[in-house]
Amino acid sequence: MKILLLDKNHPLITEQLTAKAFSLVEDFTSSYDEVLAKIEGYDGIIIRSRIPVDQKFIEHAKNLKFIARVGAGMENIDVAFAQKSGIELISSPEGNRDAVAEQVLGMLLILMNRLFISSQEVKNGIWKREENRGEELLGKTVGLIGYGNMGKAVAKRLSGFGCKVIFHDILPNIADENATQVTLEILKKEADILSLHLPITDETHYLVNKKFISEMAKNFYFVNTARGKNVNTKDLVQAIKNGKVKGAALDVLEYEKSSFEKLDGENEDLQYLLNSEKVIVTPHIAGWTIESKEKLAQVIVDKILRKFPQS
């Protein structure tokens, strides 16, 4: 099988698949149209987010047997058309779930205990104790929306901090020893902290908006390591300003480019997030660790070899 790699990943992908008699070609610079012109010659592609795999792309890829994305989300792929075309879809959310979970925990500890703010103050000669009094995770109810690989990894860690962890998911009966499955209404009633762990779809676009936030019974902390467009930023900013959202930890923003390489433009709401003491913003790095880079790649290789064993 001939495979085209369109994004840089851990070298173990090339090493291990080549050892199993796959033919791999690396192309990290060609444009969408340039890839389109040659994709017919390949049996599989391995991608991250650089090139959108839309219907036009798939129609040109007449011999394509699989699309493997090194990561969790599949929003840069026309999943329905790929499946209709008989193409196997492979992703690797197992590879970075631990990294995501650790970032969620770290962001919450920093945000709720004002660690970054107080450290910067001390470095600038400012010594404030009462103003930097924090809140503990112990005893808090954490509501997760989405309970796949990421949600489960987060719940496992938070349960060790003495939190009550509840979650809402479209799949039924998936509770475990770390979290209790509840309706969305109950989650909104009980949660002190809300964390998103779901893909971006028509149903989840702007899921967290003015109406959703107003239906939360308590003032709450908010964490988003899923996708930026799960949240209406303007509504979130307003909720931070009026105190309904006590603080926000955002690893993703709706202003990111589809490739996640940088922010696309600036506006008043983005500037508020970047300047507010109640907000932590990181550059889409939850799941982006040294260890996860290798694990993501290994998961992809293992899945390809299971689906397409070579003689």
Catalytically annotated residue among 129, 284, 291, 294: 284
How far apart CA 166 and CA 297 sit, in angstroms, is 31
Contact present, 187 and 179 (Cβ < 8 Å): no
Catalytically annotated residue among 69, 114, 227, 254: 227
Active site residue 205: no
The residue type of 91 is S
Kindly state the tokens that stand for 227: 């996708």
Which alpha helices (DSSP H) does 54-148 contain, by range?
55-60, 79-84, 97-112, 115-123
Q: What is the DSSP letter of 119?
A: H
Active site residue 129: no
How far apart CA 229 and CA 232 sit, in angstroms, is 7
Burial class (CB in 10 A: 0-12, 13-18, 19+), 282: middle
Active site residue 256: yes
What interhelical angle do 12-19 and 290-307 show, nearest 10?
20
CA 70 to chain centroid:
12
Burial class (CB in 10 A: 0-12, 13-18, 19+), 268: exposed
- Kindly list the catalytic residues: 227, 256, 284
